[in-house]
Amino acid sequence: MHVIDSHTGGEPTRVILDGGPDLGSGPLAERARRLASDHADFYLSVMREPRGQPAMVGALLVPPTDPSCATGVIYFDAGAVLGMCGHGTIGLAVTLAHLGRIDIGTHKFETPAGIVEVTLSDANTVTVRNVESRLVQADAQVRVERLGTITGDIAYGGNWFYIIDPSPIPVTPANIRTLTDAGIAIRNAANAAGLGGEAGEPIDHVVFQEPPNTPGVHSRNFVLCPDDTYDRSPCGTGSSARLASLAARGTLAPGQEIIQQSVIGSPYHLSYQPGPNGGVLPTITGQAFVTANTHLMFDAADPFRDGIAL
């Protein structure tokens, strides 16, 4: 299986160029459902240790249904198949440029959440115009054992987010374990309480926001992903959901650019324009770097062929 690995602000992406399962030729959302229900062994074997690594997101290339798109792509981590992935889209654009498959300029990728537009400005810098993002419920409360009552915004940015601002725990690298445990408890409590999307979609990511400690930066976040690891980047879909929340609250004007940092300090430049359905059209700019161009091996005699499952 030929893969190219990259990282976007420290968050790894593995682009799978061949060897994926046959998912048919239907809409990408249907192909993503098929990947989740029928081929978990495939994506887990690529994402889990020892072949994969914590926080890695896979990007399986598939033919697009829309011929104007450079590729179709389905993203996943070791916990779930994703609707969209912002850092993965930046990594994918840099990877396709590395392979000589796209040039500097603007291209479209088809994802299960919809078509996104990417502009590759140089070998490493990419701007993503994400799918329309929206605030679903402001100030949704949930009781969480040991943490008390937590208040957060439910918002969509290609995945489903519960955004807590301000964070009850300082967003610092020293607190990554504490933030992870709190995020898992909050996600579980929110889903048990029935919080989520309009059609009952569960919360798949939890975001803690706090003011920056660097001049010129708007805010710093910690994002818990479905595989229970934290996003090393500021999370493209999470930043999109956050823009929708800021726009709905009237605290960020259309076109105003802000810098959002991740818990490890990697930045995205963010802005939005009003969307056609009452949400926002987010713009996310970040950088990715290729780290490996390699072939994965699957030995039938390997007791951990399908990855370590604890």
Give the catalytic positions in this structure: 85, 235
The one among 20, 58, 83, 86 contacting ligand PYC by CB under 6 A:
86
Give how many residues touch ligand PYC by CB under 6 A: 12
Q: Which of 23-31, 61-69, 213-221, 227-235 is the region at the interface with ligand PYC (rule: CB under 6 A)?
A: 227-235
**Contact string 41-60 vs ligand PYC (x = CB under 6 A):** ----------------x---
- Whose Cβ is closer to ligand PYC: residue 132's or residue 231's? 231
CB 219 within 8 Å of CB 260: yes
The one among 64, 196, 236, 267 contacting ligand PYC by CB under 6 A:
236
Q: What is the DSSP string of 20-62?
A: PPP--SS-HHHHHHHHHHH-HHHHHHHHSTTTS-TT-EEEEEE
CB 106 within 8 Å of CB 128: no
Half-sphere exposure of 306 (CA within 13 A, CB side): 6
CB of 110 vs ligand PYC, minimal distance in Å: 16
Question: What is the C-alpha separation between 308 and 53, in angstroms, rounded?
Answer: 11
CB of 87 vs ligand PYC, minimal distance in Å: 4
Q: Which of 35-43, 235-243, 244-252, 258-266 is the region at the interface with ligand PYC (rule: CB under 6 A)?
A: 235-243
CB of 279 vs ligand PYC, minimal distance in Å: 16
**By CB under 6 A, residue 152 contacts ligand PYC:** no
CB 260 within 8 Å of CB 110: no
CB 35 within 8 Å of CB 111: no
The one among 231, 246, 282, 283 contacting ligand PYC by CB under 6 A:
231
The one among 39, 87, 129, 242 contacting ligand PYC by CB under 6 A:
87
- Whose Cβ is closer to ligand PYC: residue 54's or residue 147's? 54
Name residues contacting ligand PYC, limited to 10-39 (CB under 6 A).
11
**By CB under 6 A, residue 232 contacts ligand PYC:** no
Question: What is the C-alpha separation between 15 and 70, in angstroms, rounded?
Answer: 14
- Whose Cβ is closer to ligand PYC: residue 237's or residue 245's? 237
**By CB under 6 A, residue 225 contacts ligand PYC:** yes
Q: How many CB atoms lie within 10 A of CB 181?
A: 15
CB 177 within 8 Å of CB 230: no
Rounded to 10°, the helix 40-47/28-38 angle is 80
**By CB under 6 A, residue 187 contacts ligand PYC:** no
Of 216, 227, 228, 214, the closest CA to residue 264 belongs to 214
Question: What is the C-alpha separation between 180 and 177, in angstroms, rounded?
Answer: 5
- Whose Cβ is closer to ligand PYC: residue 153's or residue 231's? 231
Token pair recorded at residue 55: 């926080």
Interface residue list for ligand PYC (CB under 6 A): 11, 57, 82, 85-87, 225, 231, 233, 235-237
